[in-house]
Amino acid sequence: MEKAKFLIVGNIRSGTTWLQVLLDKCKQVICKNELRWLSTTEPSNYRVHMGKGSFSFSSFLAGLGSSEKILGSKLILDPQEHSEEDLIALFKTLDPNTRIIHVQRSYRDVLKSIIQNRGYDLDRENYDKSSSVLKGILELQENFVSKEQKLSAQNCESITKRLYKNDHILSYIQSERNMYFSVDYDDIQKKLPEILQFIGL
């Protein structure tokens, strides 16, 4: 009997790790490692980079060597330029029977988490300094930015646009797949029973 497969997917600081830990603690479920797609982060013993056309999610899960009946992992999308074609190519590496759990979080809270933690290095770009910035971003900086890890308003705006684009494309892909569950960060605990049912527990 084929094992049930699922993938938690979302932007950085969106709550994917929290949900992963909750699911991994359940009997009959294993949810391990962190997948990255077209990422600038360094691979590690737990972080796996998915290559275009060379990665099979099913083979990756089989390599976990688990006897549990439900296998899963998480995929974190960096706030960088992902084209629609890139993300569609990503989902082609997934078995059609893979259940997708899309975790979303307020972009203001994501930025707050980035700033409070290690920051985020953006590649250098030409920003439109006259364009509108996410409401409250300056207040956010005043309250939460450390002197060592400062994000400019332009950085914050660029990150926010990329977070939105990732979520927008993922939501579009939802129409292409039957087994897709979307959950907000604030509802993870409340909707955990529904999520467990969704992955087949």
Q: What pLDDT score does 173 carry?
A: 72
Taking only Cα atoms into account, the Rg of the chain, rounded to an integer number of angstroms, comes to 17
Q: What is the pLDDT of residues 105-149, one digit of tens each?
A: 998 888 888 777 654 444 433 333 333 334 344 444 444 444 345
Residue spans of the chain under pLDDT 70: 1, 40, 43-45, 51-53, 117-151, 175-176
Residue 181 CA to residue 194 CA, distance in Å, equals 9
Residue 108 CA to residue 112 CA, distance in Å, equals 6
CA-based end-to-end distance of the chain: 15
In terms of Cα–Cα distance, which of 181, 109, 119, 182 is closest to 146? 119
Q: What pLDDT score does 81 carry?
A: 79
Residue 50 CA to residue 17 CA, distance in Å, equals 18
CA 53 vs. chain centroid, Å, equals 20
Burial 93-124 (b: 16+ CB within 10 A, else e): bbeeebbbbbbbbebeebbbbbbeeeebebee
Q: What pLDDT score does 37 carry?
A: 79
Residue 195 CA to residue 182 CA, distance in Å, equals 9
